[in-house]
Structure 1
Amino acid sequence: MTTEAPGVLEGAIAPVQNDRLFGHEQAEAFLAQSYRSGKGHHAILIEGPEGIGKATLAFRFASHILNHPDPATAPESLGDPDPASIVGRQLASGASHNLLHLTRPVDEKTGRVKGAITVDEVRRAGKFFSQTSGTGNWRIVIIDPADDLNRNAANAILKILEEPPRRSLFLVLTHAPGKLLPTIRSRCLPLRLKPLEPSALRQALDHLGFDLESENANRILASANGSVAEALKLINYGGLEIAATFEGILQGQGPAIRKDMHKLADVLSAKDSETIFDFFTSLLTGRLMREARDAAVAGDIMRAERFARLSAATGERLTVSDAYNLDRKQTILSLLDDVKAAL
C-alpha cells in the first residue's frame, strides 16, 4: 500500500499509517521501558538522517501511549499498531483529540508545501492543550521535523517546552540537531537513530513492495546510505541516473560535458522537480564534505579548507536562491562550474 500525501514520497507509506518499523529495536525498547517506568521525559528529541524511520517511530510510540494511558499497565515493548483500532483510525484520519502533528502546512493558494513551520502552526499547540486540558488524557505533539521551524515558531515552541502541561509529551524530530536552538535541545532527552543496516533497509523496501533482485539492487542499497527515503528517490525519481550524470560531469571535460550540464540543469529546474532537486543538492553538498574530510585525513589542509569553504558557500547560495526565487537552472550551472574548478 502506498499513500500520496503532502511530503510523502511516491512509493512510501505515510508514517502515521505505517504499521511496521525496521532496524530500531533498541530505541523502541528504550521508549517502551521509560514510559512503563512512569519516569519518562516530557520531550524526546529523536535524531537521525532523513528517511530512516524517525516519524514512524514517533507515531508508533504515540499509538502505544494512547492505547495504554496507564504507564504501570503498559506492555514492556512497542507492538505493531492496529490500523483498524479506534486509536489507529483516529490517528490515520487526523481526528485524534490527543495527538497534534506539527509539520510544514500546504499553501492553500499554490497547493504546495510551505518552506517552514510557522508560528501560526505552533499556536495550534496552545489551542490543542487548552481544549484537552480537562480530559485527563495524554496529549502528544509530534514536531516533524523541528529543523523546519522558523525563528518565531522555534521561540514559541520553546515557551511551551519550558512549562509543559501535565500529561503532555513532545516528540521532536530532527535531521540536524546542531541547527536547533540550544535551549530547545537542552529541554529534550536525545534519542539518536542510526542509518539502517542493509538487511533492515531490504526489509523496509520489501514491506513497501519493491523487488530488490534487480541488477541495480546493490547500487541502490549502497547509495541509499541506510535511508528508505534516499532509496525511493533512487528508484522512483531517477536518482541513479542523476548521480551517474553528476559524476560524469565532474570527471569529464569538453563541449559534450557542457551539454550534459545543461541537460541536468533542465531536469532539476523543471516543474514539480522539488524532490529530485533536493536529492541533487544533498548529493552535491555530500560530495564537497567528503572531499574536505578526505583531504584533512590525508594532511592536505589547504585542499580541506577550500572544500569546506565551498560547502558552506554552496549552502548559502542555495538558501538565497530559494528565498529570492532566482533562476534555478543558472544556479545549478554555476554550482557545477565551481565544483569542477575546485576539483
Structure 2
Amino acid sequence: MSLPPEPRANPALVGQDEAAAALDAAARAGRLHHAWLIAGPEGVGKATLAYRFARFLLAGRPRAPEGKAPLFVPPDSAVFRRIAAGAHADLLTIEPGTLQGDRKRSDVINVEAARLIPGFMALTAAEGGWRVVVLDGAELMNPAAANAILKVLEEPPPRAVLLLVSSAPGRLLPTIRSRCRRLDLPPPNDAALLPLLGAWLPGMEAAERVALARLAGNAPGRALRLAEGGGLAVHAMVEEVLAAPEAKRAMATADKLAADRQGTSFALFFTLLRRAIAEATARAGRGEAAPGWVAARPLADWAGLWDRLGRLADETERLNLDRKQAALTALSWLAAD
C-alpha cells in the first residue's frame, strides 16, 4: 500500500478542481471573504484543499502552470516545505487535541485552543502577506470554543482568513455558518478516484478497488482508511450477520473481531453495521427497494437498535470493556426476534 501524505503535505487535489477554482477566483477578485466553511463528507479532501489554499495565499497567489489544478504551489518551494513541516509563521492550525497535552482527545476542540484564533489573526503577517487559520474538524468545537471565535467572524482583521473544515456543518452554530462563505465538496467521480486507488493500492484487484470506492462513497480518504482496516472483509461480515443473524455464527464473528488487538476491526464493524441499518431503513421508509432482512422487524425497532449499537460501541471503547463480549451482545440483539 502506497500511503499519501497528510493533508498539509499533500500536493495532489483529486476531483475538486471546481472548488479550487472558486477559491482562486475569490482570491484574485481583490476582496477575499474572511471566513470559508469547507464542507463535505468525511475523506473527500476538505483539509487537503484548505492547506492548498493556505499555501497559495502565503506563496503570493502564483498562477498555476499549464496542466496543473488551481492553487498549485510546487512541492519544492520554501512555503510548501514549511507548511508541510508545520513551521510557517503565518499559518495556525487548530484541531482536536490542540493545547490539551496529556488530556488530548480526538473528539473535541476546547476553548483554550479556539482563543488562539482571534489573537493570531489580528497580528501583522510575519512575511508581509496573509495570516491563515485552518480550523480542522470545526464541528468538534465545544460551545465555549464556538463562542470564542464569534467576535473575529463579526469583526475580521484585514488580510486574515479563517478556513473552517467540517464534515458536519449542521452542528456548527447558525451564527458561525451565517458569517462564512460555504464551499461544499462532493465525492470525486470514478474517473478521478479509481486511478488514485490504483496508485495507492497496486496489489488490490481492480474489482475490489471498485467495491472499496462504493463502500467509501467515493471519498478518497475514507477509502484508504477502509483499505487499511480490511474494510471489504469487515463489510462482508456485516452483510452475513444481517442476512442470517444466527447464534452459531456469532462466536466465529466475535472471535474474528477480537483477534484484532488494535480494535480497528471492532470499531469498523460497528460503524459499517450501523451504516447498513441506517441506509436500509431509510430506503424502506421511503418505499424504495431495501434488503430483505429489514422486514424482520418494524422500522422503529431498527432505529432503536441503531442507537443501542452506537452506545455499546462507544462504552466499550471508552471504558476499555471486552470487545468480544460486546460483539456477542450486539449479535444477540440482531438474532433476537
In which range does the TM-score fall when normalised by the shorter chain?
A: 0.7 to 0.9
Compute the displacement of 1:201 (Å). Answer: 1.1
Q: Match for residue 6 of structure 1?
A: none
Q: How many residues align?
A: 327
Matched, 1:280 2:269: yes
Picking from 323, 330, 333, the partner of 1:335 is 330
Paired AA for residue 294 in structure 1: R
Compute the displacement of 1:289 (Å). Answer: 1.4
Moved over 6 A (4+): 73-77, 299-302
Q: Match for residue 292 of structure 1?
A: 281
Quick check: 1:143–1:172 contact (8 Å CA) kept in 2? yes
* Structure 1 Cα separation of the partners of residues 317 and 141 of structure 2: 16
Quick check: 1:245–1:260 contact (8 Å CA) kept in 2? no
SS of 1:40's equivalent in the other structure is coil
Q: Match for residue 298 of structure 2?
A: 303
Q: Match for residue 52 of structure 1?
A: 44
Q: Match for residue 120 of structure 1?
A: 112
CA displacement 1:131-174 (0-9 Å, x = unmatched)? 54686531111111112222222222233322222211111111
* Structure 1 Cα separation of the partners of residues 116 and 319 of structure 2: 29
1:123-162 matches, cutoff 5 A: 123-132=115-124, 136-162=128-154
- Worse-superposed segment, 297-306 or 162-171: 297-306
* Structure 2 Cα separation of the partners of residues 244 and 181 of structure 1: 38
TM-score by length of 2: 0.83
SS of 1:63's equivalent in the other structure is helix
Quick check: 1:60–1:78 contact (8 Å CA) kept in 2? no
Residue ranges of structure 2 left out of the alignment (5+ in a row): 289-293
Compute the displacement of 1:323 (Å). Answer: 5.3
TM-score by length of 1: 0.82
SS of 1:137's equivalent in the other structure is coil
Compute the displacement of 1:311 (Å). Answer: 3.2
Q: 1:132 to 1:205 in 2, by over 3 A?
A: farther
Compute the displacement of 1:312 (Å). Answer: 4.2
Q: 1:74 to 1:174 in 2, by over 3 A?
A: same
* Structure 2 Cα separation of the partners of residues 328 and 130 of structure 1: 48
Q: 1:38 to 1:313 in 2, by over 3 A?
A: farther
Residue ranges of structure 1 left out of the alignment (5+ in a row): 3-10
* Structure 1 Cα separation of the partners of residues 224 and 249 of structure 2: 27
Picking from 134, 157, 166, the partner of 1:165 is 157
Matched, 1:31 2:26: no
Identity %: 34
Compute the displacement of 1:204 (Å). Answer: 2.7
